[in-house]
Amino acid sequence: MAATFSGNAKAEICRSFPQKHCCALAQCFGVLLFCNNFTSEGIRIITECKEFAAILPKLFRKAFGIDFDIVPDLEETGKLVFQITGQKKLQQIMVAYGFDPVGILSLHINLPIVEDDCCKAAFLRGAYLAGGSVTDPAKAYHLELATNHRYVAREAYTFIREVLGFYPKMAQRGGGQVLYLKHSDLISDCLTYLGAPIAAMGIIEARLEKELNNKVNRRCNCDEANTSKVVEASQEQLCAIRILRQNGQFERLAPKLLQAAIAREENPEASLTELAAMMQPPITKPAMNHRLKKLVQLSKE
Ligand SMILES: [Zn+2]
């Protein structure tokens, strides 16, 4: 798989492997609640991220001392599928998170699992690695977390507010729920919290670049607008001077106006300031404006 912005962010997050058992348990919890399938019948985790695939078996061994029943060949490209199907293993995991191992499940974020700050971060890292993605900031600002469990989405919504200080947005997609961020500052804060400061910096840099481009564009547009105004005014003045020539008024103009008319005729593209400097003696820009307006006015009489 080609390195994408999202893939790089995940690879970066994978570098923080949980040191403590409590954090490994919390990170697995995040993975399970945001992965493709987590029921008492079976667990299925699908990822395209090689770094995540590389740490997953270690993570589950650290948290539960168990191995996946089905693991992918890491040399393969595309979707990598991990599965746990053994009933004993599934029960052990369910019990570890406080769920009834045989009853019908509606999964929750079991708060004691994510009580400590170290575990909060680990939980969100797991959730992001399994169900998250971030869009290349050159295209759009978008970070999301998807889960199949409605209650989990609702609880994650408040959980994110608690740990990051802001609420994500929430939407339904397909049969699942999506929590997402659209603001570049919040996305970079979130990535920093998850342990991906390089990706976070990428978001900030993309925003600065965009702002700079916008500023340059705005200035260009502004210059263009000014230029077209100058051209318009000049055209009106040239037209007035032509009329004055045609009806014989030109030669009878007062010396100051005559000087202005000649200067304009000879310099159709000059700005008021430039024309004002050409007068003998030089005059101010408003005075130049006044002379040219007077020419236009005379031509209309
Ligand atoms: Zn912990």
118 CA distance to ligand 1 middle (Å): 4
Residue 21 CA, ligand 1 centroid: distance in Å: 7
Residues 106 and 46 in one domain: yes
Which pTM does this prediction carry?
A: 0.72
- Please state, in angstroms and rounded to a whole number, the distance separating the CA atoms of residues 279 and 260: 7
Q: Could you tell me the distance, in angstroms and rounded to a whole number, from the CA of residue 97 to the centre of ligand 1?
A: 14
pLDDT at residue 104, rounded to an integer: 62
Greater model confidence, 70 or 210: 70
Domain presence at residue 211: no
Per-residue pLDDT at 227 exceeds 80: no
4-17 per-position pLDDT tens digit: 999 999 999 999 89
The alpha carbon of 125 is separated from its chain's Cα centroid by a whole number of angstroms, namely: 20
User: Which pLDDT score, from 0 to 100, does residue 188 have?
Assistant: 96
At residue 1 the predicted structure's pLDDT band, cuts being 50, 70 and 90, is very low
Q: Give the integer Cα–Cα distance in Å for 146 and 131.
A: 5
207 assigned to some structural domain: no
Do 93 and 242 fall within a single domain?
no
CB-hemisphere CA count at 13 Å for 271?
Answer: 9
Give the separation between CA 112 and CA 234, rounded to whole angstroms.
76
Q: Which domain holds residue 264?
A: 223-300
Q: Is pLDDT at 57 greater than 70 in this prediction?
A: yes
For residues 33 and 116, membership in a common domain is answered with yes
pLDDT tens digit sequence for 125-138: 999 999 999 999 99
Q: In this model, does residue 35 exceed pLDDT 90?
A: yes
2 pLDDT exceeds 60? no
pLDDT class for 70, splitting at 50, 70, 90?
Answer: very high
Q: How far is CA 103 from CA 25, 40, 109, 224, 263, in A?
A: 22, 8, 17, 70, 94
Alpha-carbon distance values, 217 to 62, 206, 208, 230 (Å): 54, 16, 14, 20
Are residues 34 and 70 located together in one domain of the fold?
yes
Please give the distance of CA 253 from its chain centroid, rounded to a whole number: 63
Residue 230 CA, ligand 1 centroid: distance in Å: 68
Residues 191 and 227 in one domain: no
